Amino acid sequence: MLIKQDIPTRLSILDGFFNFNKMSELKIAIQKSGRLSENSHKLLEECGIKFSNGANVLKTKAKNFPVELLFLRDDDIPQYVEQRVADIGILGENMVFEKNKDVQILEKLGFAQCRLSLAIPKEDTYTGPGYFNNKKLATSYPKLLSDYLEKNKIKAEIEEISGSVEIAPGIGLADAVCDIVSSGSTLMTNGLREVETILNSQAVIIGNRNLGQNKKKILDSLLFRIRAVRHAKENKYILLNAPESSIKEICRILPGMKSPTILPLVEKGWCSLHSVVKEDQFWERIDQLKAAGAEGILVIPIEKMIL
Ligand code: PRT
Ligand code: ZN
């Protein structure tokens, strides 16, 4: 039964829902095919957004959230976001800084980690950035490279090429390279050695600076979901049994979201304790917990985490 005080609250929830449905979609540019595509799709799926993916489509609308996906080359995303062909885009920071368009970075996404580095033939002696004076450098990142050279007062020639940069010294096209490195194996295979890192990069969301109120509302809702997904990945749920005498020490090791949940066990003098532990502190904390007397430790992935 609906009681009187409920009516305004219920109407305002429905009102919000209907307005949301009437909004024009937030256009999200993602890479059509390449190293960012799979993780970009996965992130949106983990946010509960469903798409009907036809083969070779250039854009598609979500079935259950007011967004539309545009599939583009990553190089074109900054310009399209600046011009509002897309409202936001997902791409590597390396490309954002190289293209230098008037867009803002809204969120770091933690995938596609890599670095833009300078590499030289492995048999050469490296003498510091001055090594590059009067050398010819092959790159697909002429802006980032020329900024670096200028900052370090190096006079070098830039040979801009669009792909397979690492083979340039081997075929006599350049003396050294400035390229994206991840594991370093491509450099090694081509007889090159990484000597300087110009930029560390990961995938980010960029946005147009002048989004209207409705689009901002959708964006806030999307960013809220993305943060919940990312927090969940960065944390694990932990359950353990411990003697009551160890609880104080264990609470110190596991501060949790606010404070751990502690429940008594049937066995006298023992408790069950539930908390959250950061993924990157996980092993270190487990060792500390065992030393403090914890037993039967269970560690469970978290699907979403709303702070
Ligand atoms: O067709 P489109 O223009 O959209 O794609 P693309 O071919 O220009 O880009 P793509 O898909 O290769 O990369 C997209 C983004 O992924 C880059 O802008 C980076 O932000 C990020 N990323 C992460 C990488 C790498 N890791 C990477 N390893 N981009 C490129 N590489 C290449 C690098 O150029 C080199 O040839 O991989 C090689 C080095 O890898 P390692 O592991 O041997 O060091
Ligand atoms: Zn590209």
Report how far ligand 1's centroid is from the alpha carbon of 35 (Å). Answer: 6
Amino acid 231: pLDDT: 92
Q: Where do runs of H (alpha helix) occur along the chain?
A: 6-22, 37-46, 77-82, 93-99, 142-151, 185-189, 213-234, 247-253, 282-291
2-112+202-232 and 114-201 agree in CATH topology: yes
* Ligand 1 atom 23: residue of nearest CA: 112
Domain 2-112+202-232 of CATH type 3.40.190.10 = yes
Task: Collect all residues with Cβ–Cβ distance below 8 Å to 248 and sequence separation of at least 6.
Answer: none
Within 10 Å of residue 246's Cβ, how many Cβ atoms? 21
| Per-residue model confidence as pLDDT tens digits over 90-149 | 999 999 999 999 999 999 999 999 999 999 999 999 999 999 999 999 999 999 999 999
Domain 114-201 superfamily per CATH:
Periplasmic binding protein-like II (3.40.190.10)
Q: Which amino acid is at 59?
A: K
pLDDT on residue 280? 87
Cα angle 18, 19, 23 (rounded to 5 degrees) comes to: 120
pLDDT digits (tens, 9 = 90+) for 237-255: 999 999 999 999 999 998 7
For 115, 167, 192, the CA distances from 121, given in Å and listed in that order, are 19, 11, 4
Q: Is 161 in the pocket of ligand 1 (CB under 6 A)?
A: no
Sites in the chain below the pLDDT cut of 70: 1-23, 53-55, 257
CATH code for residues 235-306: 3.30.70.120
Neighbours of 65 (CB within 10 A): 19
| 275 Cβ closer than 6 Å to some ligand 1 atom | no
Q: For residue 8, what pLDDT is reported?
A: 36
Write down the domain spans for the chain.
Answer: 2-112+202-232, 114-201, 235-306
274 lines ligand 1 (CB under 6 A): no
